[in-house]
Structure 1
């Protein structure tokens, strides 16, 4: 018969609660039993705190309502007083407009008004031209009337209010005016300007000056001023008169309504929002935080909660101790079963008392088959039994080593593997030895890896020994040589002197040179950079240097880099290769290049021989003519001394011109060593133009020069750069001559301009002609050696020019110029970097 649940909802809830409670574990029941009283204490504390907060909130709301009502009452009093004074001033303005009041009567009425109104500091009558017609100031308020300069209005705010009153023809209040005084508090006041209008004609204004202190003192009731910190403030919340409560509490981000300042602010209606009345209540109550009953309830609740927590923690520690004991046992058993090292325990007679899962897995025998066995054990190979019995005897006698020993172990399947055994005494809780504990590790794979590493090391050493370069490694801060191959030992023996010499001459500084390390502790000297991050050293690229060792008579290319040695020290590896044959070949190639440059200049001058002869013929012919003419006139006795001097000067000038031509040609063709110096570009271009101008004039070609102003100096050999320019200009003239261009199209343009190429400042030289250009097949082979388009050319001119430019770290190129599909000329250009 099925069991029915109670019909009452309350009884059903109780039954379900009991059913749920019985399903919980004892640990969870203890936790819930602790949470229930703690939750009750927390709820009690929350209820008390909420009640206090609510009462405080009601109090704040009431206080704010009182402040608002009092401030509005004070504002109404101030408003009515301002309106009353405004009416009186408007009546005076009407009397002035109706001509019922003159200057004398104005002073009397102003005096009466200011005596009745202590907040008024002065009353001024301004005409339409902003001049003072009459004015009266109260002596008690000490008005400065700073808005006047003489009898003229100059203050900006007064002028703005004056214009506004004139335009609106209504009373206008100015913005609050603050005047700073030396060694005194600032003087703040407010102006009311009432227009004087007669028959719709503006005739001026009455300016009433209110002092802020007077308005606050005589318009605000005393009972309000005594209860609050009352002040007049502008739109920027600056205090113009009165005071602000300095003890106002700080507004917090948590429940700001609870800690907000009890204050209220309302604008003064006649003036507008430019002036407001602000009142802040003086703090009289301690609030929620200072309430003693609140803190008493809080302390009692905290003590109750602390005692509940202490009781629960004590109970929990007892339960946890029991659970820790069970967990520790389970953990140790799980750890023994999960480790990969085989564990075996024996008693003092050599009988197996315990093996873990790893030991059984290694040997293939189960725990039941091994526990209780005595030697010989089933996992001993037959051929090693005698040796293993001797080892076991030594173990039982206590003759063991900390490093262990290696044996062979046979699995149940018959497979044999290498293992290392470590034996230690097994001591119980009372400190007595009850047997021996042996750990076994399978080292078959490590042995295989070790053999492979040994073979790889042998191969690596063989390769390094057979290199045709010297390889050495030395740590920083030590005289120890970590590695040196065969060639290094042949050159420098087995010391670090050769390594240090290579590093020093290659310009690679070491942290501590070997000469500063002592001989006694050179092997134990610490790395000078130990403890610092070395990734920046070891990840940098190797740096190269070429040095000459006189003791070996060889040129060596030295490459060095930092690396982390196997023991963790920072070391430096140096590789030195013999480049003596290459350097000798480079020197020979350089000498041949110099000869080629000299030969090219001689060839150039040989090709220009006829032009040079024609150029020299002119001054020589002129000299001959001057000399013949002087001889004839001397014989005829028809030559004065003055005419003779003029003829001799012209003869000398022509001789000097011929000598300059010969000297320039001689300087150009003579053989000299390359001499790079900071050279003036304009001077180089001038020399080249003088030499190439001879060929230009012979071929009737015009040369146009475009040189930029203030060109920077370049570090070049000027003779070589002049040779390049002369060759390019001669080729341009020959191209125009071969194209048979008419005289109007026989132009060569030389441009020298500064530029920015590949991120560096350069000077670009370009020579542009109006010839037929270069075919595509010629353009591809233009700079090849011994390639020429001239039947009598040797093919070394342009190749040599490009070599000269590239030796100065420059670049050279050629391109055709097009007008549509037609070639209109060719442009050769090269640039030299500015250094």
Structure 2
């Protein structure tokens, strides 16, 4: 690649040098063309002044001819001068002595001739005017392009005659442009379309041709002066700078060739080292375990990104720290220093590690599991300690949540059992209690009737029978009272839960059930989505009972989506302010599934106790849920969810500050 770059640079420099040389030639040619046009303008102006001087002082015809002949002898570009009257008739004329011209006077005297047209323009403009070029044959069979100049002669504000001067374009090039031409240049007068009218010089054709044009704008006509030049192609070394760069490039290539063998070995070693470093860097960046290295003085020499993310400090803030680490809790600094001193004294820590507590940059504390090992270099020397850190705060949180959930589930299961027992007791004891009450009432009525009747009307009863009847009645009353106490005790046990209400954040309620919900969701292939509106007030509720309601509704929703034909299974748990209330005193919980929905006949009996559509169900779940919500003063209901599924919603009161 270096060789390619050097040769590319060399070729570019040579090309740029050639371009620069070509631009210089072109610029010089354009300057020469502009100078030639300027020389022609100066010569034409000088000739115009000389022509005006011919008629100064009203000379006679003979004197005028002598002066005109002398002017033609000195100005070889002029081939003929005529003095015409106001009607354009030739009064006298003078002709160049250097080249005879076969003039056709009939054509020159006409008003439509080039001279007549030029004089008409001069009369109209009251200033000299030129005609367009025309071809005029010579007497020897050759010819040349001519151009007429008409100069009006005025006296007292009126035109008294004209001076007509005839220019030869070829002689203009020969006398006005030739002195400044070089051997490699060619000058020519051309028309606007490129047609050449007169050419001077025979430039030999080279490998590179240059051309420049300048307009010669005259009163009445416009000519184009074109100059062509040839230039040979630039040599390989057009200047000293390119030669110097080339020599340096050759020297550089030579050095490069000499060092190729050594560079190959070095590049191979660097490549292997880079691969090893990249592999180690990728491995360290992919770790979730924090790594920290310290030297024998306790200075931190290395930390990986996982450790920085764990404690919240950057690597620059941690490297070099030795006395006190910034992630140590202030109240435990002395304890950690002593432990560090014991470690540096040579005591090897246990292989299974030990637990400690760190502090993040924002001040939050979190538990960590630390595993340390001696750091040995390539020479086998002990240079420090390498430590691995595991953030076990999530593990602790999950364990705490699991423990609390187990306790709440046990309490909830006990409460549900009590509820079921209460329902069963209510159902089973209603009829016996009614019978006992009826029997006791009938017995008392018989006794009262027997007591009210006279001895002569009622059959005689023994005192022992009356005593037995009274004893039976007392037993019946005691059993009835006992049954009532049983029902009342169960009822009081359930009602005691009403006094255990507390202010709980909605997110905490969701977090308490999510581990159990997620476990069942993974089994059924359901994706759980939670959404809690920002800045919600806490709700005032029996936390265990409401969590049981949420868990029951979530399980029912996931079981409703237990259908392999469903394209997607999503359980949506959403909490927001109740939209139906004018104030912010209620919070609405919604559990949405995308299952098959609830049929109309099932919806009518959905909250009926002991009604269930599952063979293993008891039919008390939704009934108990509605009872719990209504005990809190809220409402539990359901509605279809578009495009499919069902949404269960219930409301709870917000806790007042």
Give the TM bin, normalised by the shorter chain: 0.3 to 0.5
Q: Which structure's relative contact order is higher, taking Cα pairs within 8 Å and 6+ residues apart?
A: 2
What is the TM-score with the length of structure 1 in the denominator?
A: 0.27
What is the TM-score with the length of structure 2 in the denominator?
A: 0.34
